[in-house]
Amino acid sequence: MKMKHSLGTVTVAALGLASLPALAQAQEGPVWDVYGQLNFGVLSVDDGEDTNTTFIDNDNSNSRVGLTMTQALQNGSELRLTFEAGLGLTGSSAINGDDDSLDFDYHRTELRKLDLTYRTPNAGIFSFGQGSTSTDGSAEADFSGTGVAAYVGISDIAGSQQLRFADGTLSTVTIGGTNGSFDGSRRFRVRYDTPVFNGFSASVSYGQEVLSFGR
């Protein structure tokens, strides 16, 4: 859903842009976009002793809601504010034989993005806030096109499932503890992406985890 509101000409001061009046003057009112998705599934696990089947929120691409505000600036620049959060439903990565019910339990770690981005036509993209680091997704290339069902991040679909010993007893070892993708993640960070040159670009970021403490 897209909503457009004419708010007149404004001057944007965020991220020090007030010092660049030629770039910071808005062209017209901002454009607001509301989006989201529901992505449920049925997960069935047979570990050789027991079979558990349950209804889950698919952590390969979890259910979420988001809001963006995009403001066009002079010289083709653009300022965008993005908010995105999961719904707090029990995800496939959290399901195991002891906890196999779909519940609502919201934590601040459900926040995916709270990000301010300044996009320029020639100088690249500058980002600040909670969002993807430069390496987020870099180790998860999958050309099958089946990423919603399964992809290299096996922990997202079965991370809390426990492995069994040869005698049938459950161990404390989980699939998520033995299968890391070495991929980047979302953090509270600053990030810079270069313009695209002949089909290639580079990015650098620095940040830290600020949401997981105390959940």
Q: Residue 1: is its pLDDT beyond 50?
A: no
The better pLDDT of the pair 27, 86 is held by: 86
**Residues whose CB is less than 8 angstroms from the CB of residue 103 and which lie 6 or more positions away in sequence, other chains included:** 89, 90
pLDDT at 72: 96
Q: Rounded to whole angstroms, how far apart are CA atoms 28 and 8?
A: 6
Q: Is the dihedral of CA 201, 207, 213, 215 positive or negative?
A: negative
CA nearest neighbour of 177 among 152, 157, 155, 156? 155
Task: Write the pLDDT tens digit of every residue in 12-64.
Answer: 333 333 434 444 566 688 999 999 999 999 988 888 888 888 899 999 899 99
Tokens found for residue 196: 């695209």
Q: How many CB atoms lie within 10 A of CB 29?
A: 15
Q: How many CB atoms lie within 10 A of CB 168?
A: 10
176 in Cβ contact with 160 (< 8 Å): yes
Tokens found for residue 18: 């007030």
The better pLDDT of the pair 14, 181 is held by: 181
DSSP 71-86: EEBGGG-EEEEEEEEE
pLDDT at 9: 32
User: By three-state DSSP, how is residue 34 classified?
Assistant: strand
Q: Rounded to whole angstroms, how far apart are CA atoms 137 and 86?
A: 18
78 in Cβ contact with 70 (< 8 Å): yes
CA nearest neighbour of 210 among 186, 193, 194, 191? 186
Q: ∠ at Cα 23 (21, 27), nearest 5°?
A: 100
Q: What is the pTM of this model?
A: 0.78
110 in Cβ contact with 212 (< 8 Å): no
CA nearest neighbour of 151 among 63, 36, 64, 61? 61
